[in-house]
Every structure is written in C-alpha cells, then in structure tokens.
Chain A
Amino acid sequence: MSRAKRATVGELESVYRAQFNAFLRTGTAYLDDVDAARDAVQDGVATAIRKRASYRGEGTLEAWLWSIVLNAIRDRHRERAHAQMLAADAVDAFAAVTEGEPMDDVRDAVRRLPERQRLVLFLRFYADMDYGTIAALLGISEGTVGASLNAARTTLRGLLQEVGA
C-alpha cells in the first residue's frame, strides 16, 4: 500500500474500484440490504471525495476511505433502526415474509451478535483485513480484534447449532 500526502480524485477512484466489492459485502451484511448498502457506500465515497483535502497521508488511503465508508454504513444503520422503530409493523411484516428461508437462521444469528463482533467478523471475512488493519480502523487493539473475532465465531457456531443450520 502506498502512502500519499494528498489524495487526488484519481487515487480515490482507484481505491474505490479495488475495494468496492469489500465495501458492498460489508455494508450488505451490516445493513442486511444490498440496496441500502450500495447507497451508503456511494454516499461514503462521495463524502471522501469532498473531504479528500483532509487526508494528510497519515495511514494508507485505503484505511482512510474505509473509515469513511464504514461510518456511512453505520450511520445508515442507525437511520434504518430509527425508521424501523417508527414502523414496527413493517418490520414484522418483513419478518413474516422471510420466515422459513434457509439463510434466515444464519442472518438472524449474525444479527444477534454484538456490533463490535459483527464489524470485526465482516471486516475479517468480507474485506480480508488483517488484525492490525481492523484494529486501526475500529480504534481497538489487535488483542481485542482477536478476542472479538473468536467470540463472534464461537457465538455464531453456537447459534447455528441451536437453529440447526
């Protein structure tokens, strides 16, 4: 990964294209909705383009863009959670429609994980990040990353055993 003192639009485009699938997989898993994930990723990248002058070369451009996109995804999640609280009936209807599909158990199992564990899990599996990168991105130690990932996998396995997936 190369270091750059200032991010140009062209450099951002390169990182965007290289990381787009990882962005979208993480967003889709986090938001449970590919359209919402795409919207959040695009908004996050747009924010990065506008604020590119604030990138000072401290850390890689990839990590800088990831932090912005991840914030956009989390913001979108909060917005959706708030909206779902206001429209609980709609959520119930959605649950009713999707009930019984094989992957729903897995989805529910993942959804029940604490947020940190989910993020660590997603960044590890969907973005193929190492512990150090995840730690820097989330502002936690590498030990915490390892512990969170281990806990998430243990919990996930237990939950999946419970639901028989």
Chain B
Amino acid sequence: MSERTMLMRLVEEAETVEPDWQDALRRAGFAARHRPRLAARRVLVLAVVLVGVLYAVAAIAADEPGWRIRYWLFDRSPETYPTTQAATVGAWSRAERVDGLVSTDEGYVPNVVTLPVLHGEVVGRRFEVKAFFREWAFGQDHLCIGFEPGGTPKPWHGTNVPAVGGSSCGAPMHGLRPQGESDLHWVGATVHVPGPIEPTGGGTGPKYLFGPAAPNVRHVDLESRDGTVVRVATFAGPPDLGVRVRLWVAVLRLDHLVHTIVPRDDEGEALEHWHLPSAY
C-alpha cells in the first residue's frame, strides 16, 4: 500500500460530505438566502414599485396636460412663424382630378367630377388647395375651399373627392353667393389643425388659417389681443370658376389666437375689422 493510498483511506469519509454554502452563510450571520438572490428580490420589488409609479403618473398625465413629460424634459413648444407671410403657389390644374370618382370610407360618392387643384408653400410648409362650387339647398351654389397640409391628400380622398383635411363652404362674402346674407365679409376664414390638440390648447401644431377673399383684397391681417399682427398676401383663385375670387393661407402657432381679421385692398386700406365671435 502506497503512502498516498494509506493517507487517502484515512479520510475517505470526507469524500462523502457535500459543501453547504447556505450553512456557512448562516454561521456568518447572513440571512438564509444567498445575498445575490436577496438583491434580485429587491430589484424585483423596486421594478414593481417603479411600474406602479409610472402607471399612476401616466394616469394623471392623461387628464393633466401639465404632467406631460415632453413639456418637462424637452423644448417641444411649437415654433414661431413669421408675421409676414406670402404663399408661393403653382398653377391651378384640373388634370390631377379627372381619373374618375372614388367613394369615401362612408360610401359617399362625390358629385364633383373635376375640380381645380393648386399646390403651394407658405413659410416652408407645403399645402394643397381646391376650390369648387357645390350645389347647396334651395338651388344655391356655394364656393367650397378645401385645404390639405403637406400637399398630399389622404388616399381615401380619392382622385375627385372634394373632402380634404380642412374645408369650408358658403362663406358669406361680398361678390360671392350666397347673396342676401345680412352680414357679409370681405374674406372667409377657416381654421385647420392637422395634429392633436391638448386640452389646454397646446399641442404640436401648427394650425392653418385659410379662406377665400374678395378680388380687391390683397392682404389679410390677423390680429391678436396682444397686438401681434400676422399679415398674409392673397393669391388668385381658379380662373375658370366663373367667379373672381382670391385665396389666402396662414401658418400660426397653435396657441397663437386670432381675434380680428382685417382684409386690406391694394392701397392698404382696411376694408373691415371683423371681430371674430370666438378666437381662431
């Protein structure tokens, strides 16, 4: 028998004993569980608490715009636009809208086969405008202005459908039907906001103001209560509408409220001060 064999036989009982780390930890005064497991449990508890807090914050933020994180952390407030604006426009065209009729999602088929379309840009933002007459009740035709920010209509608008991002018809305006309105203006005005609007009136914006203008209107001043005036130039409407009309488009911050519209002729004279019943 070799020395090694003899010595190993002396301790052969030891070979049957397994290490017991938990026992060593207990003797050291540690909790029953291994520390990393304890740390993992703490992380889990923290994660659950964090999710709960985020859920609560999200719930509050749904009703309280002041909690919106993007307003806290990022300067995402809408940019300021020039107070003097003039649209750069192309030519009116009917060619884009002669391929047939397309129903809307609701199943409406437009009764306008062709209508003039114009592409333009104002303060770097592209848009598309349509202008057409639409038969209204009692045999009266109304001038309708359609407006599409970005210059690309949504697919369901179809080739000939006058439905657009924003539209208005029948502005009570001098020189245009409907005649007989008691409160005629020199311009029509419609506001369109393509993005979401926060409950406080904030949002990503911008908002677009547009509308028709009488042939003698060369500028439209958009006045706010704080004295800010945004002046926009008008441009010619479709030549083949059968009526002379001009159009205007303005781009504003979403929180830029317009209280008074002042159309001006080519001499700069104010044709009216139209105090809006509610700010645009």
Chain A residues at the B interface, C-beta cutoff of 8 Å: 9-10, 13, 16-17, 20-21, 24-25, 27-29, 34, 37-38, 42-43, 45-47, 49-50, 103, 106-107, 110, 121, 125-126, 153, 156-157, 160, 165
How many pairs, one residue from A and one from B, have CB atoms within 8 Å of each other in the complex? 82
In the complex, which residues of chain B have a beta carbon less than 8 angstroms from the beta carbon of A106?
A: 6-7, 9-10
Q: Is the interface of B mostly helix, strand, loop or mixed?
A: helix
Say whether B17 contacts A34, CB under 8 Å: yes
Measured CB to CB, the closest approach of chain A to B1, in angstroms, equals: 7
Say whether B28 contacts A46, CB under 8 Å: yes
The proximity string for B residues 1-45 relative to A, scoring 1 for CB distances below 8 Å and 0 otherwise, is 101101111110111010111011111111000111000000000
Say whether B11 contacts A50, CB under 8 Å: no
In the complex, which residues of chain B have a beta carbon less than 8 angstroms from the beta carbon of A13?
A: 21, 34
> What separation, in Å, do the CA atoms of A156 and B14 have in the docked complex?
22
Say whether A103 contacts B24, CB under 8 Å: no
> What separation, in Å, do the CA atoms of A165 and B7 have in the docked complex?
12
Say whether B27 contacts A28, CB under 8 Å: no
Say whether B7 contacts A121, CB under 8 Å: yes
Say whether B28 contacts A49, CB under 8 Å: yes
In the complex, which residues of chain B have a beta carbon less than 8 angstroms from the beta carbon of A46?
A: 24-29
With beta carbons under 8 angstroms apart, the residue of A24, A37, A125 that contacts B7 is: A125
Determine the residue in chain B with the shortest Cβ distance to A152: B3
In the complex, which residues of chain B have a beta carbon less than 8 angstroms from the beta carbon of A21?
A: 14-15
In the complex, which residues of chain A have a beta carbon less than 8 angstroms from the beta carbon of B30?
A: 9, 49
Give 8 A-B pairs besides A25-B8, A42-B24, A103-B9 with Cβ atoms closer than 8 angstroms. A13-B21, A16-B24, A24-B17, A28-B10, A34-B17, A46-B28, A103-B10, A106-B7
Say whether A29 contacts B19, CB under 8 Å: no
> What separation, in Å, do the CA atoms of A16 and B11 have in the docked complex?
19
With beta carbons under 8 angstroms apart, the residue of B4, B7, B14, B35 that contacts A9 is: B35
> What separation, in Å, do the CA atoms of A153 and B6 have in the docked complex?
12
Measured CB to CB, the closest approach of chain B to A106, in angstroms, equals: 5
In the complex, which residues of chain A have a beta carbon less than 8 angstroms from the beta carbon of B19?
A: 16-17, 20
Measured CB to CB, the closest approach of chain A to B3, in angstroms, equals: 6
Measured CB to CB, the closest approach of chain B to A77, in angstroms, equals: 15
